[in-house]
Chain A
């Protein structure tokens, strides 16, 4: 286990040191006193584990391919931007556009997610990205979503009303969003339909809920005792008529 004190380091210096450690064969790295440094764990490949104490800067784990990043704090905007595989476990909340254009791997967010979570995430064959959100999500959840799974639980904080913001699934054309307890019809974009999750869906959801409670605690059976709403797109090509003449 290697330890790096990030206090006062510019992101170029911090990320260079992380890469050097990984190159030298480090399997686990702890980054302490992280404060806004951008691009941490970006573009790295392998199966190493990185633990972050503090608030990492924007675009954390962008293009990451394999490693596991655990954050003890909140993350800022665009975490897991175009991430390819691996896992991010956030003991806190995420800023806007977490999982932006994500292609594979998993994000577990203990608390809330900001605006445009999972915007344009996509899947191909066995590459299926997953975002699990314990709290509430902002507007435009799964906007232009083209694949993958988003599970929204709304359990980790005492929110009133819908646990998802407006324009959820606007422009969505593939993949699925599951919302515990569901939300009112006006919350959704016109490209998506809503229905009750069926046993096959619940099996998928309960797998991720078990993992969520494994990381953050909580009662999986209690979480699963609620109804879930399933959101999918009407069409896999909603704008086809706009662009094809």
Chain B
């Protein structure tokens, strides 16, 4: 593969930025390029990328699959594989501009495709998967089955087809990434020609892993994309946990694990995004001890069930998905993150000046606290209340309340209405999680161990 180790080391950090229009009014990629390029000095040219939503309205029913190939042979064999599982409506080379600075580009293709009916019918799902499909809110089991089908194909391509990497595979969205500075990457992919209603961007400064095309941000799965500044000390613990659910971490970068954790908890387990965020940046045990009863109960369950999804280490992330734009810092806020709002637009970035470069007079500028979810959903009647307003609240107020709300939503199907029932549901998850089962079996011992770990973190 096209891998190149970073050779220069300048103390700096990655840059992230995101802009959403909450009424889904589209705007060109110029704004996000302007915003991210103001933070040029935070990256070192070894990775830049964008996620764009609402850019393929004409093909919004189809999966837009962006793939990097090392060679024509890799493309041929991948297309053969895709053809077995998908009806490919169109496939084309990604339009790009000639660039003096973006070099050693792989072959970049995009396909618009839908699963072949017969292949989808023939796909075998485990009992646990079927069980989960039934319980996912806002989606029929058929839709859930289809998504899992697509994810499996992507995992197979990334792990088993040499010389092929899927950059994105969502509907009406795409990831555009490369080795280079973000503004050059935007120019290369001609993002000024696209119009979207949500854009995120990343300027990379790789520290522990190679700077290569597949390792550039965003990291995506289905409609979800993550840009990340920081590093995950718990990467291997998270990776091993994710592997138990069929995820394969193949891109040599920690951020990939964040994307899969979010996918696991929201898509496979059908819990609200705020729950996934509360698992990744879990409240400390001493904070949990001060929560009101019901909230404390939920928080304990999340820490126990999703202990292996806790993301340790410094991070700020911006997530794009079909529900809108979300941002999160690690719980002790070891990376910078600023948000602003004006009219229907919400902005997030590593630096305030990057927001002011595209919105000089915001109505509000603020800095979410560590572990506090910034939530900017679309203003649409058919979306759940979680996303109806720009909602910044600490997990202890929002995430955990929503956990209960989310569980109650699903209660219609699952006859789960109380926290006690939630515990029953939780046991379902534990079927696939041997580690958690052990913790659950000795809950108190588990809690104590976790408490000690928190203490260590604080003492550092």
Contact = CB atoms under 8 A, between A and B. Distances in A.
A170 interface: yes
Nearest to A170: B458
B147 interface: no
B336 A55 contact: no
Contacts of B332: 115, 139-140, 167
Interface residues of A, number: 24
A165 B352 contact: no
A36 B336 contact: no
B416 interface: no
A112 to B, nearest CB: 8
A57 B351 contact: yes
Interface residues of B, number: 21
Interface string A74-110: 1011000000000000000101100000000000000
Interface in A134-162: 138-140
Contacts of A76: 336, 351-353
Interface stretch (B162-170, B365-373, B401-409): B365-373
B301 interface: no
B353 A55 contact: yes
B357 A115 contact: no
A131 to B, nearest CB: 17
A43 interface: no
Contacts of A139: 332-333, 369-370
Contacts of A115: 332-333, 370
A55 B458 contact: no
A36 B38 contact: yes
A66 interface: no
B146 interface: no
A115 B458 CA distance: 15
Contacts, number: 55
Name the residue among B39, B336, B338, B354 with the largest chain A CB count within 10 angstroms: B336
A165 B286 CA distance: 14
B369 A36 contact: no
Nearest to B290: A186
A115 B286 CA distance: 19
B30 interface: no
B337 to A, nearest CB: 10
A95 B367 contact: yes
A114 interface: yes
Nearest to B332: A139
Contact of A96 (B38, B39, B287, B333): B333
Interface of B: 38-39, 41, 286-287, 290, 332-333, 336, 338, 351-354, 356-357, 365, 367, 369-370, 458
Given A35-B38, A54-B356, A77-B336, 18 more contacts: A11-B41, A35-B357, A36-B351, A36-B353, A36-B354, A36-B356, A36-B357, A57-B351, A58-B351, A76-B336, A76-B353, A95-B336, A95-B367, A138-B333, A138-B369, A139-B332, A167-B332, A167-B458
7 contacts: A11-B41, A36-B357, A76-B352, A96-B333, A96-B336, A115-B333, A139-B333
